[in-house]
Amino acid sequence: MKLLSVEHLGKAFGGVQAIEDLSFDIQTGAVHSIIGPNGAGKTTLLNMLTGIYVPDSGHIRLGDRDLTGLATHQFAAAGIGRSFQNLQVFFNMSALENVMTGRHLRERCSLLATLLRTPALVRAEADCRALALRLLGRVGLGEYRDAAADAMPYGALKRLEIARALAAEPSLLLLDEPAAGLNQTEAREIDALIKQLAAEGTTIVLVEHNMRLVMEVSDHVLVLDHGRKLAEGTPAQVSANPLVIEAYLGVAEPQAAHA
Protein backbone atom coordinates (compact mmCIF):
# COMPACT_ATOMS: atom_id res chain seq x y z
CA MET A 1 0.00 0.00 0.00
CA LYS A 2 1.26 3.44 -0.89
CA LEU A 3 1.98 5.58 2.18
CA LEU A 4 3.81 8.55 0.75
CA SER A 5 4.02 9.76 -2.79
CA VAL A 6 6.34 12.41 -4.16
CA GLU A 7 5.33 13.91 -7.50
CA HIS A 8 7.56 15.99 -9.75
CA LEU A 9 9.33 17.59 -6.82
CA GLY A 10 11.77 20.42 -7.55
CA LYS A 11 13.91 22.73 -5.40
CA ALA A 12 16.63 25.18 -6.36
CA PHE A 13 18.96 27.23 -4.17
CA GLY A 14 19.97 30.21 -6.28
CA GLY A 15 21.40 28.67 -9.44
CA VAL A 16 21.85 25.20 -7.98
CA GLN A 17 19.06 22.77 -8.80
CA ALA A 18 19.19 20.60 -5.66
CA ILE A 19 16.19 18.44 -6.57
CA GLU A 20 14.79 18.23 -10.10
CA ASP A 21 11.53 16.63 -11.22
CA LEU A 22 11.72 13.82 -8.68
CA SER A 23 8.88 11.32 -8.30
CA PHE A 24 8.72 8.16 -6.21
CA ASP A 25 6.45 6.26 -3.82
CA ILE A 26 7.01 4.89 -0.33
CA GLN A 27 5.18 1.66 0.51
CA THR A 28 3.75 1.01 3.98
CA GLY A 29 5.84 -1.18 6.24
CA ALA A 30 8.99 -1.30 4.16
CA VAL A 31 12.51 0.07 4.60
CA HIS A 32 13.31 2.47 1.81
CA SER A 33 16.87 3.71 1.43
CA ILE A 34 17.89 6.84 -0.38
CA ILE A 35 21.51 6.83 -1.46
CA GLY A 36 23.66 8.96 -3.69
CA PRO A 37 26.99 10.77 -3.81
CA ASN A 38 27.60 13.83 -1.68
CA GLY A 39 25.52 16.72 -2.94
CA ALA A 40 22.99 14.48 -4.62
CA GLY A 41 20.16 16.21 -2.76
CA LYS A 42 19.32 13.59 -0.13
CA THR A 43 19.13 15.88 2.86
CA THR A 44 17.34 18.54 0.79
CA LEU A 45 14.75 15.91 -0.04
CA LEU A 46 14.36 14.95 3.63
CA ASN A 47 14.00 18.60 4.56
CA MET A 48 11.18 18.93 2.04
CA LEU A 49 9.52 15.76 3.34
CA THR A 50 9.41 17.38 6.80
CA GLY A 51 8.31 20.83 5.67
CA ILE A 52 11.60 22.52 6.57
CA TYR A 53 12.03 23.53 2.93
CA VAL A 54 9.06 24.38 0.75
CA PRO A 55 9.44 22.80 -2.71
CA ASP A 56 9.48 25.10 -5.75
CA SER A 57 7.32 22.66 -7.66
CA GLY A 58 5.60 19.29 -7.24
CA HIS A 59 3.58 17.65 -4.50
CA ILE A 60 4.10 15.58 -1.36
CA ARG A 61 1.16 13.37 -0.42
CA LEU A 62 0.82 11.28 2.71
CA GLY A 63 -2.08 8.90 2.22
CA ASP A 64 -4.79 11.10 0.70
CA ARG A 65 -3.48 14.34 2.15
CA ASP A 66 -1.48 16.86 0.17
CA LEU A 67 1.10 18.22 2.61
CA THR A 68 2.84 20.53 0.14
CA GLY A 69 3.40 23.98 1.60
CA LEU A 70 2.42 23.10 5.17
CA ALA A 71 4.58 24.11 8.15
CA THR A 72 7.04 21.69 9.73
CA HIS A 73 4.89 21.05 12.81
CA GLN A 74 1.98 20.15 10.52
CA PHE A 75 4.11 17.55 8.72
CA ALA A 76 4.86 16.11 12.15
CA ALA A 77 1.19 16.13 13.08
CA ALA A 78 0.42 14.29 9.83
CA GLY A 79 2.69 11.48 11.03
CA ILE A 80 6.19 12.09 9.67
CA GLY A 81 9.04 11.89 12.17
CA ARG A 82 12.78 12.21 11.62
CA SER A 83 16.29 12.17 13.00
CA PHE A 84 19.01 14.56 11.88
CA GLN A 85 22.35 14.02 10.21
CA ASN A 86 23.98 16.79 12.23
CA LEU A 87 22.61 16.23 15.71
CA GLN A 88 19.63 18.32 16.76
CA VAL A 89 19.39 17.01 20.32
CA PHE A 90 17.91 19.29 23.01
CA PHE A 91 21.16 19.82 24.89
CA ASN A 92 19.38 21.84 27.56
CA MET A 93 17.54 18.73 28.80
CA SER A 94 18.19 15.27 30.16
CA ALA A 95 18.04 12.21 27.93
CA LEU A 96 14.67 11.28 29.39
CA GLU A 97 13.23 14.75 28.84
CA ASN A 98 14.39 14.65 25.21
CA VAL A 99 12.31 11.54 24.65
CA MET A 100 9.38 12.91 26.68
CA THR A 101 9.39 15.95 24.40
CA GLY A 102 8.90 13.52 21.53
CA ARG A 103 5.45 12.78 22.99
CA HIS A 104 4.38 16.36 22.33
CA LEU A 105 1.77 15.49 19.70
CA ARG A 106 0.30 12.76 21.88
CA GLU A 107 -0.26 15.06 24.83
CA ARG A 108 -2.91 17.61 25.52
CA CYS A 109 -1.56 21.02 26.45
CA SER A 110 -4.62 22.84 27.76
CA LEU A 111 -3.39 26.04 29.37
CA LEU A 112 -5.65 25.83 32.40
CA ALA A 113 -4.77 22.21 33.15
CA THR A 114 -1.08 23.07 32.76
CA LEU A 115 -1.13 26.07 35.09
CA LEU A 116 -3.20 24.32 37.75
CA ARG A 117 -1.41 20.98 37.31
CA THR A 118 -4.59 18.94 37.44
CA PRO A 119 -4.53 15.30 38.56
CA ALA A 120 -5.20 14.27 34.95
CA LEU A 121 -2.07 16.10 33.86
CA VAL A 122 0.00 14.52 36.64
CA ARG A 123 -1.19 11.07 35.50
CA ALA A 124 -0.45 11.87 31.85
CA GLU A 125 3.04 13.02 32.84
CA ALA A 126 3.67 9.77 34.71
CA ASP A 127 2.54 7.75 31.68
CA CYS A 128 4.69 9.85 29.38
CA ARG A 129 7.68 9.30 31.63
CA ALA A 130 7.14 5.54 31.74
CA LEU A 131 6.83 5.35 27.97
CA ALA A 132 9.94 7.47 27.45
CA LEU A 133 11.86 5.18 29.82
CA ARG A 134 10.74 2.14 27.83
CA LEU A 135 11.89 3.78 24.60
CA LEU A 136 15.26 4.67 26.11
CA GLY A 137 15.67 1.05 27.10
CA ARG A 138 14.61 -0.04 23.64
CA VAL A 139 17.40 1.91 21.91
CA GLY A 140 19.85 0.73 24.57
CA LEU A 141 20.14 3.96 26.52
CA GLY A 142 18.51 2.85 29.78
CA GLU A 143 21.62 3.74 31.76
CA TYR A 144 21.50 7.34 30.53
CA ARG A 145 17.97 8.11 31.70
CA ASP A 146 18.94 10.98 33.99
CA ALA A 147 22.09 12.04 32.13
CA ALA A 148 22.24 15.56 30.78
CA ALA A 149 22.18 15.33 26.99
CA ASP A 150 25.32 17.48 26.68
CA ALA A 151 27.24 14.92 28.74
CA MET A 152 26.43 11.95 26.49
CA PRO A 153 28.73 10.39 23.87
CA TYR A 154 28.06 10.90 20.17
CA GLY A 155 26.87 7.38 19.44
CA ALA A 156 24.34 7.54 22.26
CA LEU A 157 23.00 10.88 21.01
CA LYS A 158 22.33 9.35 17.59
CA ARG A 159 20.16 6.71 19.23
CA LEU A 160 18.57 9.31 21.51
CA GLU A 161 17.31 11.13 18.40
CA ILE A 162 15.74 7.93 17.14
CA ALA A 163 14.05 7.29 20.48
CA ARG A 164 12.75 10.85 20.51
CA ALA A 165 11.31 10.48 17.01
CA LEU A 166 9.75 7.12 17.91
CA ALA A 167 8.03 8.65 20.93
CA ALA A 168 5.69 10.49 18.57
CA GLU A 169 4.63 7.14 17.04
CA PRO A 170 5.12 8.39 13.47
CA SER A 171 3.62 6.47 10.57
CA LEU A 172 6.73 7.33 8.56
CA LEU A 173 10.18 7.60 10.14
CA LEU A 174 12.95 9.39 8.26
CA LEU A 175 16.49 8.61 9.42
CA ASP A 176 19.20 10.91 8.08
CA GLU A 177 22.52 9.03 8.22
CA PRO A 178 21.89 7.35 11.57
CA ALA A 179 25.21 5.47 11.34
CA ALA A 180 27.40 8.39 10.26
CA GLY A 181 30.38 8.88 12.52
CA LEU A 182 29.74 5.66 14.44
CA ASN A 183 32.25 2.85 14.91
CA GLN A 184 31.56 -0.68 13.64
CA THR A 185 29.92 -1.89 16.87
CA GLU A 186 27.68 1.14 17.18
CA ALA A 187 26.71 0.96 13.51
CA ARG A 188 25.69 -2.69 14.02
CA GLU A 189 23.48 -1.68 16.92
CA ILE A 190 21.73 0.89 14.72
CA ASP A 191 21.45 -1.79 12.07
CA ALA A 192 19.72 -4.15 14.49
CA LEU A 193 17.44 -1.40 15.73
CA ILE A 194 16.27 -0.50 12.21
CA LYS A 195 15.58 -4.16 11.42
CA GLN A 196 13.61 -4.52 14.60
CA LEU A 197 11.56 -1.39 13.94
CA ALA A 198 10.84 -2.55 10.39
CA ALA A 199 9.80 -5.97 11.68
CA GLU A 200 7.27 -4.23 13.92
CA GLY A 201 5.77 -2.48 10.92
CA THR A 202 7.26 1.04 11.09
CA THR A 203 7.79 2.48 7.63
CA ILE A 204 11.33 3.79 7.42
CA VAL A 205 13.15 6.01 4.95
CA LEU A 206 16.87 5.71 5.47
CA VAL A 207 19.43 8.12 4.05
CA GLU A 208 22.79 6.48 4.50
CA HIS A 209 26.33 6.30 3.15
CA ASN A 210 27.13 3.02 4.84
CA MET A 211 26.50 0.62 1.94
CA ARG A 212 26.70 -2.49 4.06
CA LEU A 213 23.89 -1.13 6.23
CA VAL A 214 21.82 -0.07 3.22
CA MET A 215 22.13 -3.42 1.45
CA GLU A 216 21.34 -5.36 4.60
CA VAL A 217 18.22 -3.59 5.81
CA SER A 218 16.56 -2.13 2.72
CA ASP A 219 13.56 -3.51 0.86
CA HIS A 220 13.85 -0.81 -1.73
CA VAL A 221 16.61 1.59 -2.78
CA LEU A 222 16.35 4.96 -4.52
CA VAL A 223 19.55 6.37 -6.01
CA LEU A 224 19.84 10.13 -6.41
CA ASP A 225 22.47 11.96 -8.42
CA HIS A 226 22.52 15.72 -8.96
CA GLY A 227 18.97 15.98 -7.67
CA ARG A 228 17.55 13.46 -10.14
CA LYS A 229 16.49 9.87 -9.83
CA LEU A 230 19.33 7.72 -11.15
CA ALA A 231 17.91 4.31 -10.37
CA GLU A 232 15.33 2.58 -8.20
CA GLY A 233 14.70 -1.01 -7.20
CA THR A 234 15.72 -3.78 -4.83
CA PRO A 235 19.23 -3.61 -3.35
CA ALA A 236 20.37 -6.30 -5.81
CA GLN A 237 18.94 -4.50 -8.84
CA VAL A 238 20.44 -1.19 -7.83
CA SER A 239 23.91 -2.52 -7.08
CA ALA A 240 23.99 -4.19 -10.50
CA ASN A 241 22.88 -1.03 -12.32
CA PRO A 242 25.74 0.32 -14.50
CA LEU A 243 24.62 3.93 -14.01
CA VAL A 244 24.90 3.54 -10.25
CA ILE A 245 28.32 1.96 -10.49
CA GLU A 246 29.42 4.80 -12.72
CA ALA A 247 28.10 7.46 -10.36
CA TYR A 248 29.87 5.92 -7.41
CA LEU A 249 33.07 4.58 -8.92
CA GLY A 250 33.37 5.44 -12.58
CA VAL A 251 33.76 9.04 -13.60
CA ALA A 252 35.81 11.29 -11.36
CA GLU A 253 33.79 14.28 -10.27
CA PRO A 254 34.43 17.14 -7.88
CA GLN A 255 33.00 16.43 -4.45
CA ALA A 256 30.39 19.07 -3.75
CA ALA A 257 29.61 20.32 -0.27
CA HIS A 258 27.85 17.72 1.79
CA ALA A 259 24.11 17.82 1.17
Partner 1 sequence: MRAAVIVSEPLRPGLGRWLATPRRGGLLVLALVIVLLPLLLRNSYFYEIAILVALNAIVCIGLNLLIGYAGQISLGHAGFFALGGYGSAILSAQHGWPSWLAMITSCAAVGLLAFVVGRPTLRLKGHYLAMATLGLGIIISIVLTTEDRLTGGPDGMAVPALSVFGWVLRGERTWYWVVAAALLLAVWLALNLIESPTGRALRALHGSEIAAQTLGVDSARFKLRVFVISAVFAAVAGALTAHYAGFITPAKSTFMHSVELVIMVVFGGMASIFGAVVGALVLTLLPQLLTVLEDYETMVFGAVLIATMIFFPQGIVPTLARWLASLKQGLRR
Contact call for residue 133 and partner 1 (CB under 8 A)? no
φ/ψ (deg, to 5) at 65: -90, 135
Q: In Å, how far are 22, 225, 228, 242, 255 from 247, measured between CA atoms?
A: 18, 7, 12, 9, 12
Name the segment binding partner 1 (CB under 8 A); options: 56-64, 110-118, 183-191, 242-250.
110-118
* Beta-sheet pairing, 57-62 with 2-13: antiparallel
Q: Which strands sit side by side in the sheet containing 2-13, from one edge to the other?
A: 16-27, 2-13, 57-62, 65-66
Name the segment binding partner 1 (CB under 8 A); options: 60-68, 95-103, 135-143, 200-208.
95-103
Contact call for residue 8 and partner 1 (CB under 8 A)? no
Q: Residue 242: how many CA atoms within 13 Å on its side-chain side?
A: 0
Contact call for residue 252 and partner 1 (CB under 8 A)? no
Name the segment binding partner 1 (CB under 8 A); options: 114-122, 138-146, 183-191, 225-233.
114-122
Q: In Å, how far are 118, 128, 144, 210 from 80, measured between CA atoms?
A: 31, 20, 26, 23
Q: Tell me how far apart the alpha carbons of residues 43 and 61 are, in angstroms, rounded to a whole number.
A: 18
Q: Which of 114, 183, 196, 234 binds partner 1 (CB under 8 A)?
A: 114
Beta carbon of residue 72, minimum distance to partner 1 (angstroms, whole number): 4
| Residue 4 burial (10 A CB sphere; 0-12, 13-18, 19+) | buried
Site for partner 1 in 31-70 (CB under 8 A): 50-52
- Measured from the CB atom, the residue of 84 and 221 that comes closer to partner 1 is 84
Site for partner 1 in 185-244 (CB under 8 A): none
- Measured from the CB atom, the residue of 72 and 241 that comes closer to partner 1 is 72
- Measured from the CB atom, the residue of 76 and 244 that comes closer to partner 1 is 76
Q: Tell me how far apart the alpha carbons of residues 240 and 246 are, in angstroms, rounded to a whole number.
A: 11
Q: Which of 38, 92, 183, 196 binds partner 1 (CB under 8 A)?
A: 92
Site for partner 1 in 152-171 (CB under 8 A): 161, 164-165, 168
Helical packing angle, 119-138 and 154-167, nearest 10°? 130
- Measured from the CB atom, the residue of 1 and 112 that comes closer to partner 1 is 112
CB 133 within 8 A of CB 96: yes
Contact positions vs partner 1 (CB under 8 A): 50-52, 71-73, 75-77, 81-82, 84, 88-93, 97, 100-105, 107-109, 111, 114-117, 121, 124-125, 128, 161, 164-165, 168
